[in-house]
């Protein structure tokens, strides 16, 4: 646990926004911004270790991102390949378990294979978990859960009136992961963008104008300091 007496979120989710604007400000191709953003992923992992955050979920690639220019999508896939190959040792060194959520099967076959391999190699680690949302959609996740429940009803092994919020939660992509306590979105945008719509119901929201490639350990800890000042009531009164 961290030395600070301030409350620390167990689970932090981040919408990593601003890579393209970071590159544009410097007269660079958009992909250079994504490359710089990969370093911020490692910075966030280091900050989690330093502060005691157990779960870090990153919105790495949405289902909507498939409509971006083909060259950018191919570049992002190449960057993901490089990240998995070059940073696996750091995951082992820091005992970080890698997991994914989303329609990962939409990704190129070699990336799917590598994701499964690294996930398998790191699944024994319990201290920290890095969850990558890939080809992810919050609405699709809820739809998939509803479809699985509907299939059980159609088979006759579940009554509609027996369906509860807890049961639907168990049919989401990562039912064993606690809901995020804190959502961070960088670059000044003020929306959820179809990210973890069910799980973020009671999360604290933190928005910053800092572009993702510039979001390093100090900015992460600033977000945690802001979280520590929040009064989480969950519908109750003080």
Q: Give the residue numbers marked as catalytic.
A: 17, 65
Query: What six digits make up the tokens of 121?
Result: 């190699």
Dihedrals φ, ψ of 10, to 5°? -75, -35
The answer for residues whose C-beta is within 8 angstroms of residue 53's C-beta and 6 or more apart is 8, 9, 10, 11, 12, 47, 128, 224
Q: Determine the Cα–Cα distance for residues 20 and 30; give it in Å rounded to an integer.
A: 5
Q: Determine the Cα–Cα distance for residues 81 and 75; give it in Å rounded to an integer.
A: 10
Q: Determine the Cα–Cα distance for residues 36 and 124; give it in Å rounded to an integer.
A: 30
Q: Determine the Cα–Cα distance for residues 185 and 14; give it in Å rounded to an integer.
A: 6
Q: Determine the Cα–Cα distance for residues 1 and 29; give it in Å rounded to an integer.
A: 40
Query: What six digits make up the tokens of 105?
Result: 């099967």
Inter-axis angle of helices 70-93 and 30-51, to 10 degrees?
30
SS3 112: helix
SS3 119: helix
């Amino acid at each position: 646990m961290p030395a600070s007496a301030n409350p620390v979120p167990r689970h932090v989710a981040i919408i990593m926004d601003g890579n393209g604007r970071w590159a544009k400000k410097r007269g660079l191709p958009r992909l250079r911004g994504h490359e710089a953003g990969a370093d911020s992923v490692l910075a966030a992992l280091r900050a989690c270790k330093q502060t005691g955050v157990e779960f870090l979920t990153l919105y790495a690639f949405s289902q909507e991102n498939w409509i971006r220019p083909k060259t950018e999508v191919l570049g992002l896939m190449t960057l993901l390949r490089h990240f998995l190959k070059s940073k696996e040792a750091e995951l082992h060194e820091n005992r970080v378990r890698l997991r994914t959520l989303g329609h990962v099967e939409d990704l190129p076959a070699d990336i799917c294979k590598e994701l499964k391999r690294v996930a398998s190699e790191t699944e024994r680690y319990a201290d920290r978990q890095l969850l990558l949302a890939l080809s992810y959609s919050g609405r699709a996740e809820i739809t998939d859960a509803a479809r699985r429940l509907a299939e059980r009803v159609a088979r006759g092994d579940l009554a509609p009136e027996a369906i509860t919020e807890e049961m639907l939660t168990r049919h989401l992509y990562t039912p064993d992961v606690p809901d995020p306590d804190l959502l961070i979105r960088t670059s000044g945008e003020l929306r959820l963008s179809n990210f973890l719509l069910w799980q973020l119901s009671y999360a604290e929201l933190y928005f910053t104008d800092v572009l993702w490639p510039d979001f390093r350990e100090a900015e992460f800890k600033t977000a945690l300091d802001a979280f520590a000042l929040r009064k989480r009531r969950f519908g109750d009164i003080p």
